[in-house]
Amino acid sequence: MKAVLSYVLIVASVFCVGAQDLSQPIPVDQSIKKGVLPNGMTYYIKSTDVVKDAASYYIIQNVGSVLENEDQRGLAHFLEHMAFNGTEHFPGKGILNTLQKHGAVFGKDINAYTSFDETVYNLSDIPTKDGLVDTCLTVLQDWSNYLALTEDEIDAERGVIKEEWRTRQNGQMRLYEVSMPITYNHSKYADRMPIGLMSVVEGFKYKALRDFYHDWYRTDLQAIAVIGDVNVDEIEQKIIDKFSKIPAVDHPKERYVVNIPDNEDMLFSFGTDPEVSSASISFGIRHKKSLADETVGDLKKALLESMAISSISARIREKSQQPDAAFLSASVGYGGLSRTSKALSVGIYPKPNQQQDAFTEVLTEVIRAVKFGYTQSEIDRAITIFDNSYQNQIAKQDDRSHKSIENIIQSNYLSNSTMADVEKEYEIAKQLFSKITPEDVHNTIKRLYTKNNRFLNVIGVEGQDNLTEAQAREIIANVENSNTIEPYTEALDGKTLVSGLNIVPGTITSISKEDKVGSTTYVLSNGVKVHYKFVDKQKDRVALNAISYGGKSLLNDEDLASAGFVTSLLGMSGLGDFKATDLRKVLAGKTANVSVSLGDISENVSGNSNTKDVETMLQLVHVYFVKPRFDEDAYKVLQNNLDNYLLRRGKDIGEKMKDSLTYAIYGKNNPKKPIFDQEFINQVSFDKIKAVYADRFSDASDFEFFIVGDVKEEQLKPLLEKYIASLPTHHLNESYKDNSVEWVANTIDKDIYIAMEDPKASVNVVYKREMPYVKKNVVYTSVLGDMLQLRVTETVRESEGGAYSPRAGASFSREPKPAAYVNFSFDCNPDMADRLVEIVKNELQKIANGTINEEDLNKTRTNYLKENEQSKDNNGYDMAMLTRYFRYNENINDPKNFVDIVKNMKAKDIQKIAKEILKGGHSYEIIFKPEQ
Ligand SMILES: [Zn+2]
């Protein structure tokens, strides 16, 4: 009776969904509360305990640089900066100061961005205790309508933004600006880069900024979102009380939307830059994007578009892995371009002097799909991938980050997309999948590949045979009219990852528990040790780590260049019997990844999967040990990539600085610190890469395995016996060699001059002190670094306006040689470089002299305790705990190893470590300056 009943129910529900009309709306996620206040402000509240006792706060403003007039270019972004420089309730740096005292970090937990059409400010992962919920709501309220915009603060920020512009300015950026009028068809977007014009930033009148704020930053264009460990009704009441008081603006200006006009004929741009030495081609076709309510029909359309595009991507990837391809890499996508437009985009990185062929080859793949459509197996695979992705989303729903929930809210507010109920959407999608045919997908790509609204941007290289407009048009016409293009075919013979392998399972020979960290250790019959812990703080996630000492430290100098490409070549070669592209097909619909890497002192295998695909993850690990694949064709592709990388970095200022820095610190031609040049490439060889891998990864018993996550013992044990206990072992038990390289001198002080288009200075200051690895020293060093960061933000950025993002930090390296490091690095105005260097050095000296800001110490202390607490909500915390416990016999969860040190540290502890580091007498100070 029961069985019959459920059968009837299933049929009924299938009928229901199946009969669903395409004009039906997509079911909405009811757990996100949405409302609108009488003054027009929208609010969203979502309760989630993904981070315990913490919440994130956002203000999403439907305002961006596209609303600026010509004489206002840069004001939207300027206002974003002013949000952190004084508001009614938080004068001066009050917002930062208040929240830093509760452990938040500027630039990480407190941040903002400005784009063409929107501006979003956020306070993230703020504890919900100590009245902080109210504090954060007050910050949002001030952001909405009560920025102070004082003259002093405005003037102080002009320099910061000038430096932000300087640090972002490079060859690629200059070329991007050339392409904008074409991509956006000369609409207002074309000259509304949010950073704006420096002439405006330097000279605008105070009133201009205040007017812009009043005109656009208003309740009817603002939404606030509160996401976190909160009670929805309580927060809603607070929002109503607090935000209803904000007056709506009288006679508001119309929030117009900039539409990109259609173009019949393709638009074209071409550019070169003295600092760019590799070419790229971007071809696009614009489409209108609807802001209407989303329906089941829209979902179907989106699924079809995604299938059409991802299948072409896979074909192009396959092509790029052939050594004779004319391009290094290429991509195809379909995504948002502006508020009301999307674009089909094709991006190509040609090999040197092969721009015409590269464009032809990639375009051919697009046209092949337009002409002949797709195979049934491509569609089946795409559906399997979607299906798996829906299942993952549903399983991990309660673990969604605040940021990912905010993204959903933001698209709802700005673009009217549905905040979908994933489970219900999946039910509908399954019905849609069952009816999707290759023809549907074919029609989709035909619809997207239109004649009108095309644009093509070519970045050329001076002295090369660059793709001209006439050639591009001819190529498009030729490919579109070609009779030689044939339908896509593929041959996959249904083999699995482990087909053909003779796997002889082993056994688990001993099981022991370690209560201190809650783990179980299995010793397998081949000698491999596996430490395991069940953790489902994040559901449906499993991680694997395997570590073995040795790494590059045991290799000869002449093998080091090849050793650097073991990981790349493996990744490009595929695995076992499968080429890389076929491996992706075999793994379609599985959530399992494994990668291997070769470090300075260790070799590592790391992987992750969802619960159902743990077996696949362990199969991958098995095959990496017994049947790694090194493909000659893949090696040729790698060689091409290396040659091109050498060419590409040739004129790049950042790369020139990197090389000069290596020379200055380690001397020229230091075999342990090679720079990437022709000689380096010449040392790389296929056979050496293979030999290095065979040497480093031959003995599984030298690896210590860690598996942590949402996988039960019953599921794991037989899989370990099958795939890990069966691995060949030689019981080598290696260690590593200390190959640390000394600097050329104890103190290095150098100005290096480089010719550049937009002058900027770049500062690198480092102090080093070898000292024993003692837990307290490690914590104090790190605290010193964060306190220095607070200092240099205040002095170098805020007081001097000399750099946009001055970075200070300190770290303690454990192996091979324990040592503490302090470093400062930033781009800045060349005229101020020497002075700023003195300022940052002085900040360290001051701490060593005992001039310590207690408030900085307390902010850092609170931040460490908060981060430590919040990190415990992740499975990763337990992985770190097991690794450190078994590798170093150190329990990170034991208060004496961290929490007690942080709670009890005093100013004099930090002073002492700063003094020690300075006393070491090892430092370098290298400043890059523009050649006059
Ligand atoms: Zn900025």
Distance 156 CA to ligand 1 centre (A): 14
Structure tokens at 147: 């920025």
* Degrees, nearest 5: CA angle 865-870-872: 105
Distance 526 CA to ligand 1 centre (A): 56
Per-residue b/e over 242-262, b at no fewer than 16 CB within 10 Å? bbeebeebeeeeeeeebebee
Of 36-45, 330-339, 496-505, which range is least confident? 496-505
Q: How many CA atoms lie within 13 A of 637 on its CB side?
A: 24
pLDDT digits (tens, 9 = 90+) for 776-810: 999 999 999 999 999 999 999 988 989 999 999 99
Exposure pattern of 323-354 as b/e (b: 16+ CB <10 Å)? eebbbbbbbbebeebbbbbbbbbbbbbbbbeb
- Please tell me the distance between residue 827's alpha carbon and the centre of ligand 1 in angstroms: 15
> Beta 54-61 vs 119-127: how paired, if at all?
antiparallel
User: In the chain, what's the furthest Cα-to-Cα distance?
Assistant: 90
Q: What are phi and psi of 591, to 5 degrees?
A: -110, 85
Torsions phi, psi for 811 (to 5 deg): -145, 165
Separation of 119 CA from ligand 1 center, angstroms? 11
Contact, 258 vs 66, CB < 8 A?
yes
Would you say residue 11 has pLDDT above 70? no
Ligand 1 center from residue 755 Cα (angstroms):
27
Q: How far is the CA of 118 from the centre of ligand 1 (A)?
A: 14
What is the CA(53)–ligand 1 centre distance, in A? 30
Distance between Cα 104 and ligand 1 center (Å): 19
Q: State in Å: Cα 81 to ligand 1 middle.
A: 6
CA 408 – ligand 1 centroid, Å: 24
Percent of the chain whose pLDDT exceeds 70: 98
Q: How far is the CA of 190 from the centre of ligand 1 (A)?
A: 20
Please say if the pLDDT value at position 14 is more than 60.
no
* Cα–ligand 1 centroid distance for 146 (angstroms): 20
Fold of 267-396+416-480: Cytochrome Bc1 Complex; Chain A, domain 1 (3.30.830)
What is the CA(446)–ligand 1 centre distance, in A?
41
Whether the pLDDT of residue 9 is over 70: the answer is no
**Average pLDDT of 18-34?**
88
For residue 137, the CA-to-ligand 1 centroid distance in Å is 23
How many CB atoms sit inside 10 A of residue 268's CB? 17
Say how many Å lie between the CA of residue 132 and the centre of ligand 1.
Answer: 26
Q: What's the alpha-carbon Rg for the chain, to the nearest Å?
A: 29
Distance 335 CA to ligand 1 centre (A): 25
- Please give the distance, rounded to the nearest whole angstrom, from the Cα atom of residue 343 to the centre of ligand 1: 27
In this structure, which amino acid lies at residue 627?
A: K
Token pair for residue 591? 């959530």
Mean predicted lDDT score pLDDT of the chain = 94
Return the exposure string of 28-59: e unless at least 16 CB atoms fall within 10 Å of the residue's CB, then b: bbeebbbeebebebbbbbbbbebbebbbbbbb
**What is the distance in A from the centroid of ligand 1 to the CA of 349?**
30
Please tell me the distance between residue 115's alpha carbon and the centre of ligand 1 in angstroms: 11
Please state which of the ranges 7-16, 315-324, 346-355 shows the lowest mean pLDDT: 7-16
Residue 839 CA, ligand 1 centroid: distance in Å: 23
Q: What amino acid is encoded at 806 in this protein?
A: P
Tell me if the domain spanning 509-724 has CATH number 3.30.830.10.
Answer: yes
The C-alpha atoms of residue 178 and residue 573 are separated, in whole angstroms, by: 38
CA of 921 to the centre of ligand 1 (A): 37
For residue 161, report the distance from its CA to the centre of ligand 1, in Å.
6
Distance 228 CA to ligand 1 centre (A): 27
Listed in order, strand segments (DSSP E) in 536-585 are 542-549
Q: For residue 787, report the distance from its CA to the centre of ligand 1, in Å.
A: 23
838/828 Cα distance (integer angstroms):
14
212 CA from centroid of ligand 1 (Å): 17
Cα(107) to centroid of ligand 1, in Å?
11
Cα(683)–Cα(673) distance, integer angstroms: 14
User: Left if phi > 0, otherwise alpha if psi is -120 to 50, otherwise beta: which for 550?
Assistant: left
Ligand 1 midpoint to CA 151 (Å): 18
Pairing state between β 704-709 and 341-350: unpaired
**Domain boundaries along the sequence of the chain:** 34-243, 267-396+416-480, 509-724, 747-930
Residue 884, exposed/middle/buried by CB under 10 A (0-12, 13-18, 19+)? middle
Residue 463: how many CA atoms within 13 Å on its side-chain side?
6
Distance from Cα 89 to the centre of ligand 1, integer Å: 23
CA-closest candidate to residue 821, choices 922, 689, 698:
922
SS3 of the chain: helix, strand, coil, percent, to 5: 45, 20, 35
Q: How much distance in Å is there from the Cα of 98 to the middle of ligand 1?
A: 21
Model pLDDT for residues 536-558, shown as the tens digit of each residue: 999 999 999 999 999 999 999 99
Ligand 1 mean position, distance from CA 74 (Å)? 10
Angstrom distance (rounded) from CA 709 to CA 592: 13
CA of 192 to the centre of ligand 1 (A): 15
Buried b / exposed e over 803-836, threshold 16 CB at 10 Å, is: bbbbbbbbebeeeeebbbbbbbbbbbbbebbeeb
Q: How far does the centroid of ligand 1 lie from the alpha carbon of residue 77, in Å?
A: 6
Distance 179 CA to ligand 1 centre (A): 22
Instruction: Say how far apart CA 101 and CA 865 lie, in whole Å.
Output: 12
Distances (CA, A) of 902 to 98, 876, 909: 20, 21, 11
How far is it, in rounded angstroms, from Cα 414 to Cα 417?
A: 8
CA of 367 to the centre of ligand 1 (A): 41
Task: Provide the CA 586 distance to its chain's centre, in angstroms.
Answer: 26
CA of 803 to the centre of ligand 1 (A): 12
DSSP 149: -
Q: 62 CA to middle of ligand 1, Å?
A: 18
**Residue from 111, 102, 91 nearest 133 by CA:** 102
Residues 6+ apart with CB under 8 A from 336: 289, 342, 415
Classify 674 in phi/psi space as left (phi over 0), alpha (psi -120 to 50) or beta. beta
The 10s digit of each residue's pLDDT in 465-515 is 999 999 999 999 999 999 999 999 987 777 889 988 999 999 999 999 999
Separation CA 277–CA 255 (nearest Å): 42
Write down the pLDDT at residue 20.
Answer: 63
Provide the 3-class DSSP secondary structure of residue 7: helix
Distance, CA 798 to ligand 1 centroid (Å)? 13
Task: List pLDDT tens digits, range 154-209.
Answer: 999 999 999 999 999 999 999 999 999 999 999 999 999 999 999 999 999 999 99
Would you say 126 and 102 are in contact if contact means Cβ atoms under 8 Å apart?
yes
**614 three-class SS:** helix
Average pLDDT of span 575-580:
93
Burial of 80 (0-12, 13-18, 19+ CB in 10 A): buried
CA of 114 to the centre of ligand 1 (A): 8
Query: Which amino acid belongs to residue 64?
Result: G
Say how many residues make up the chain: 932
CB atoms within 10 A of CB 88: 13
870: amino acid identity, one letter: Q
Going along 92-189, which residue ranges are E strands?
110-114, 119-127
CA of 162 to the centre of ligand 1 (A): 9
CA atoms of 902 and 381, how far apart (whole Å): 51
pLDDT at 613 over 50: yes
Distance 78 CA to ligand 1 centre (A): 7
- To the question of pTM greater than 0.85 for the whole model, the response is yes
Residue 650 Cα, ligand 1 centroid: separation in angstroms?
30
- Which whole-number Å values give the CA distances from 334 to 285, 306, 347, 414, 640, in the listed order? 9, 8, 11, 19, 28
| Alpha carbon of 94 to ligand 1 centroid (Å) | 19
CA 250 to ligand 1 centroid distance, Å: 30
> What is the distance in A from the centroid of ligand 1 to the CA of 199?
16
Q: Could you tell me the distance, in angstroms and rounded to a whole number, from the CA of residue 639 to the centre of ligand 1?
A: 39
Residue 827: pLDDT band by 50, 70, 90 thresholds? very high
Domain 267-396+416-480 shares a fold with domain 509-724: yes
pLDDT at 633: 94
> Ligand 1: distance of its center to the CA of 32 in Å?
31
**Taking Cα atoms as reference points, which of 267, 71, 254, 264 lies closest to residue 186?**
267
Mean pLDDT over 438-444 rounds to: 97
Ligand 1 center–CA 375 separation, angstroms: 47
- CA of 163 from ligand 1 middle (Å) equals 9
The structure tokens listed for 711 are 């996988």
What spacing in Å lies between the alpha carbon of 735 and ligand 1's midpoint? 47
The residue-averaged pLDDT of 215-241 equals 98
Using DSSP's 3-state secondary structure scheme, residue 925 falls into strand
Q: In what order do the strands lie in the sheet with 454-459?
A: 267-271, 454-459, 280-288, 341-350, 327-338
What is the reported pLDDT for 731? 81
Q: How far is the C-alpha of 363 from the C-alpha of 326, rounded, in Å?
A: 12
Q: How many angstroms separate the alpha carbon of residue 762 from the centre of ligand 1?
A: 19
CA 718 – ligand 1 centroid, Å:
54
Cα–Cα dist 914/849, whole Å? 9
What are the pLDDT digits (tens) for 719-738?
Answer: 999 999 999 998 877 889 98
Say how far apart CA 286 and CA 288 lie, in whole Å.
7
In the CATH hierarchy, which top-level class contains the domain 34-243? alpha beta
Domain 747-930 is found in CATH 3.40.50.12780:
no
Return all residues near 329 (Cβ < 8 A) that are at least 6 apart.
Answer: 320, 349
Q: How far is the CA of 615 from the centre of ligand 1 (A)?
A: 46
Q: How far is the CA of 828 from the centre of ligand 1 (A)?
A: 15
Token pair for 670: 């230091």
- The alpha carbon of 164 and the centre of ligand 1 are apart by a number of angstroms equal to 6
Q: Which amino acid is at 327?
A: F
Ligand 1 centroid from CA 284, angstroms:
29
User: How remote is the CA of residue 6 from the centroid of ligand 1, in Å?
Assistant: 58
Q: Please report how many Cα atoms fall inside a 13 Å half-sphere around the Cα of residue 682, on the Cβ side.
A: 3
- What is the Å distance from ligand 1's center to 805 Cα? 10
Residues 832 and 800: beta-carbon distance below 8 Å: yes
DSSP assignment of 811-849 equals EEE-SSS-EEEEEEEEEE-GGGHHHHHHHHHHHHHHHHH
Query: How far is the centre of ligand 1, averaged over its atoms, from the C-alpha of 414 (Å)?
Result: 21
Mean pLDDT of 120-137: 96
